[in-house]
C-alpha cells in the first residue's frame, strides 16, 4: 500500500529537551497496513473500484472491437482499389471510398486513445481520493487513541525504509494499538437493516 510505504510515525515527535529529560517516554506501535486492510471502508472501496474497472474494460473492449472492424474494412477497400482488373475509373472510385473509410478509422482511433487516457486518469484520481480519505480516517483514530493513552510517540511497525526493510526492527515493552484502532474505525460501520416482519 504505497501511501504507507514512507510513513514511519503518525504522531510528530515531541521535542526531547531538558524540560522533559526526567520524563519517561511512552511509546506505542500500530500496524497501519493491517488497519488499512481490515477497515470496512477499504473493502467497500476495493469492491467499488473493481466494478468501475470492469465497466471500463468492457467499454474499452467494445470500442477496440469496433476499431478493428473498421480497420479490416479499410484494408479490404485499399486492396480492392489496387485491383488491376478494374477500370481506372472503378479503381479511382474505390480509392475514394477507401480514403473516406481511412479517415473514419483515424477518427475512431483518436477517440479510442482519448477515451483510454481520460477514463484511466479518472479511475486513478478516484482511487487516490478514496485511499487518502481512508488514510485520514485511520490517522484520526490513531491520534485520538494516542492522545487518550498519553503516548509520546507512536510508530508504524509496517513502515518500510527506502531499502525495503522494516523501519521498526525491534521494540520491547511498548503497547500495540492496532486492534484498538481497527475496532474504532469499524465502529462506524452501518448495521444491516433488519428484515421486515410486517405481513
The 27-30 sheet, strands edge to edge: 153-156, 27-30, 175-176
Q: 3-state class of 30 per DSSP?
A: strand
Is pTM beyond 0.85? Reply is no
Per-residue pLDDT tens listing for the chain (199 residues): 544 444 434 344 434 434 444 567 889 999 999 999 999 999 999 999 999 999 999 999 999 999 999 999 999 999 998 888 888 899 899 899 999 999 999 999 999 999 999 999 999 999 999 999 999 999 999 999 999 999 999 989 888 767 777 777 777 778 999 999 999 999 988 887 765 555 4
Domain of residue 166: give its range.
2-186
Coil, strand or helix at 84: coil
User: Number of folded domains in the chain?
Assistant: 1
Q: Would residue 196 count as lying in a domain?
A: no
Is 25 within a domain? yes
H-run or E-run covering 43: helix 40-81
Q: In this structure, is residue 154 part of a structural domain?
A: yes
Q: Would residue 192 count as lying in a domain? A: no
Asked whether residue 158 is domain-assigned, the answer is: yes
The distance of Cα 169 from the centroid of its chain, to the nearest Å, equals 29
Q: Which CATH number fits the domain that encloses residue 173? A: 3.30.910.20
Cα 54 from Cα 89, distance rounded (Å): 49
Digit-coded pLDDT (tens) for 45-90 = 999 999 999 999 999 999 999 999 999 999 999 999 888 888 889 9
Residue 199 forms part of a structural domain: no
Amino acid at each position: 500500500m504505497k501511501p504507507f510505504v514512507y510513513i514511519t510515525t503518525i504522531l510528530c515527535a515531541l521535542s526531547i529537551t531538558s524540560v522533559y529529560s526526567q520524563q519517561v517516554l511512552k511509546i506505542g506501535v500500530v500496524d497501519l497496513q493491517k488497519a488499512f486492510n481490515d477497515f470496512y471502508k477499504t473493502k467497500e472501496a476495493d469492491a467499488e473500484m473493481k466494478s468501475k474497472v470492469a465497466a471500463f474494460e468492457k467499454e474499452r473492449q467494445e470500442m477496440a472491437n469496433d476499431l478493428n472492424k473498421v480497420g479490416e474494412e479499410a484494408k479490404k477497400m485499399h486492396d480492392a482499389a489496387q485491383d488491376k482488373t478494374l477500370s481506372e475509373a472503378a479503381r479511382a472510385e474505390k480509392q475514394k471510398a477507401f480514403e473516406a473509410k481511412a479517415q473514419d478509422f483515424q477518427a475512431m482511433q483518436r477517440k479510442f486513445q482519448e477515451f483510454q487516457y481520460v477514463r484511466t486518469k479518472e479511475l486513478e484520481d478516484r482511487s487516490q481520493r478514496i485511499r487518502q480519505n481512508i488514510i485520514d480516517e485511520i490517522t484520526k483514530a490513531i491520534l485520538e487513541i494516542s492522545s487518550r493513552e498519553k503516548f509520546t510517540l507512536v510508530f508504524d511497525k509496517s513502515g518500510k525504509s527506502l531499502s525495503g526493510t522494516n523501519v521498526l526492527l525491534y521494540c520491547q515493552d511498548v503497547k500495540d494499538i492496532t486492534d484498538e484502532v481497527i475496532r474504532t474505525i469499524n465502529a462506524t460501520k452501518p448495521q444491516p437493516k433488519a428484515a421486515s416482519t410486517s405481513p
